[in-house]
Amino acid sequence: MIATSPTDFEIHLFHEGSLYKSYELFGAHVIEENGVTGTRFCVWAPHAREVRLVGSFNDWNGVNFDLIKVSEQGVWTIFIPENLEGHLYKYEIITRHGDVFLKADPYAFYSELRPNTASIVYNLRGYKWNDQAWQRKKRRKRIYDQPLFIYEIHLGSWKKKEDGRFYTYQELADELIPYVLEQGFTHIELLPLVEHPFDRSWGYQGTGYYSATSRYGTPHDLMMFIDRCHQQGIGVILDWVPGHFCKDAHGLYMFDGEPTYEYANMQDRENSVWGTANFDLGKPEVRSFLISNALFWMEYFHVDGFRVDAVANMLYWPNSDALHKNPYAVEFLQKLNETVFAYDPAILMIAEDSTDWPRVTAPTYEGGLGFNYKWNMGWMNDMLTYMETAPEHRQHVHHKVTFSLLYTYSENFILPFSHDEVVHGKRSLLNKMPGTYEEKFAQLRLLYGYLLTHPGKKLLFMGGEFGQFDEWKDLEQLDWMLFDFDMHRKMNAYVKELLKFYKRHKPLYELDHSPKGFEWIDVHNAEQSIFSFIRKGAQADDILIVVCNFTNKVYHDYKVGVPLLATYKEAINSDAELFGGTGCINKKPMMAIEEPFHGKPYHVRMTIPPFGISILRPMRKRGERNSDGKEKVRRYAVGRRAR
């Protein structure tokens, strides 16, 4: 229920930085006051001399529509005795120097389609959610020991209509959701959906943080899209940018003629890399605004998590040659995470942090920032550097593959191949691979296999699932015509098989964040660029053997040490002809030989495919799967186990 006017307590909490549902106070709300239905507007403009309301209901003339200042720190409000739902509006700000600006409402729930910039009075209530089963499941399961493979999407360029128009939220629900289900991803991550003026900012330079972009439909349409994702078992993560905002005249920048949402000091305020302004994270009202915004998306849109963009840009003061820590950012991020986890303990808070800041995913009561996941940018950069190296020279950068295991358990990591790696001339993942046409596909399959088997959760940007050859063209749709080509269809078949295999095998996710879940078999074979390791589940004998060959050489009768005396079957081989490979696979089961090798008590002899990954699992008797397809405790074909 929206109160008829701001209370002293609400105003106190807002100026204290702890009004975490400030969207119930600020913005435009249709309410009843003294028996009269009307619309209340409330805005924060601490430096303004006057504030007036203009809109389609008063011919954009603010005379006699003056807001009343109800706090010395600049909270202004007005009640119009009329239901103004659907009307356009802005605030006419008169600065202390007499200048006049027209500003969109920072707390608007809906906005005009660009290039128009007015806010729209919109009632967010009334959508009937049908995702109760999803919410119960989410609360019941710990994501840390569950599969998490994210499909990162830019809704404006996933698919487009023939005339270049965007798909609507309704159309995306009809097409995107079945596609994600078919591929096998567990979650989708949407590039920012806050209102933004420039398409090519991809939503990272926002003006309306409470306004779901009108490019694809109304806020209720977006609720429907997320609801349908949940009904199909797909989680929804929102890319979110609490660090900086765009400087368009109608937005947050110099809102009342002076720094309001941004730092007062120009050196701290200006973000020269992106041409934006940095939020003043030490200002209590800005903390109320931003932390409320996270709760807003959780409450009204049921989002399952946030990928928090550019954390490094917040943690360190900008425009400095040295890394000077920003204590305001640390306090803000800790309070943000404490607040959202109190609201929903199952939320995903994912830091996109490129630095080595310690304890990003540690709880705040242990001195951490309080996120529960962090993108592993180091792993991503090292692996792409390694893959772009000519195969004959990879032996000289062997450490690029091995280094990640020295720190992989220092945080809860997500391994990202995101949009940032396939744009601005960086080339697509497929086209980063050296060699011939066929070798590019082989190495990308190998890279995806290594992504799948390396500890940590996973993320892949759209188009990667079928081997898009060109880098991301953000003004066009994905190159769907590539499905007409055999190698791309086979690449997609491989990715779908990987995802199915991933979700069925607990060793690939159950101990992602524990050193007990991984063990090297052979980490030193730089000369041949072959790596072998074990992934383990919570049960001692629940294992997978992984062998990766990063050269185009084939090896027959290759010895690999194994820990269990069992018969092993090749479960996945990226070189299978079905996936576009040359067919160097291990058709027959491999019985472990009682002879130590690679420091293990037994070994198998196998064929190592060129530019390939092979995953072996101990064979089990029939009927040993749960109803969900996940493996039960195995019984081995050969009687004894290693002690």
| Amino acid at residue number 15 | H
Rounded distance, CA 284 to CA 476, Å?
41
**Quick check: 598 and 532 in contact, CB under 8 A?**
yes
Q: 590 and 567 in contact (C-beta within 8 Å)?
A: yes
Look at phi and psi of residue 459 and say left if phi exceeds 0, alpha if psi is from -120 to 50, else beta.
Answer: beta
Give dist(CA 365, CA 373) in Å, integer. Answer: 17
Q: How many residues does the chain have?
A: 643
- Across 190-210, b (16+ Cβ under 10 Å) vs e yields bbbbbbbbeeebbbbbbbbbb
Please give the Cα distance from 632 to 623 (Å, whole number): 9
Bond preceding residue 455 cis, omega within 30 of 0: no
Q: Identify whether the C-beta of residue 569 lies closer than 8 Å to the C-beta of residue 529.
A: no
Find all residues with CB under 8 Å of 123, minimum gap 6, and list them.
30, 85, 109
- Segment (H or E) for 337: helix 327-343
Please report the sign of the dihedral spanned by the C-alpha atoms of residue 129, residue 131, residue 133, residue 135.
negative
Q: CA torsion, points 136, 139, 141, 143, in degrees to nearest 10?
A: 130
Q: Where are the alpha helices (DSSP H) in 344-435?
A: 377-388, 399-402, 429-432
Q: Give dist(CA 499, CA 629) in Å, integer.
A: 13
User: Is the distance from CB of 311 to CB of 241 less than 8 angstroms?
Assistant: no
- Is there a contact between 207 and 196 (Cβ–Cβ < 8 Å)? yes
Q: Tell me the CA distances in angstroms from 205 to 197, 328, 485, 585, 635, one per residue in order.
A: 8, 21, 37, 49, 55
Angle at alpha carbon of residue 87, lines to 93 and 62, rounded to 5°: 30
Query: What span, in angstroms and rounded, lies between the C-alpha atoms of 466 and 579?
Result: 11
Sign of CA dihedral 235, 241, 242, 243: positive
First to last CA, the chain: 64
Instruction: Tell me the C-alpha distance between 639 and 643, whole Å.
Output: 13
- Cα–chain center distance at 221: 21
Which residues form the catalytic set?
A: 309, 352
Pair type for strands 602-608 and 543-549 = unpaired
- Rounded to the nearest 10°, the torsion over CA 173, 179, 183, 185 is -10
b/e map 538-561, b = 16+ CB within 10 Å: eeebbbbbbbbbbbbebbeebebb
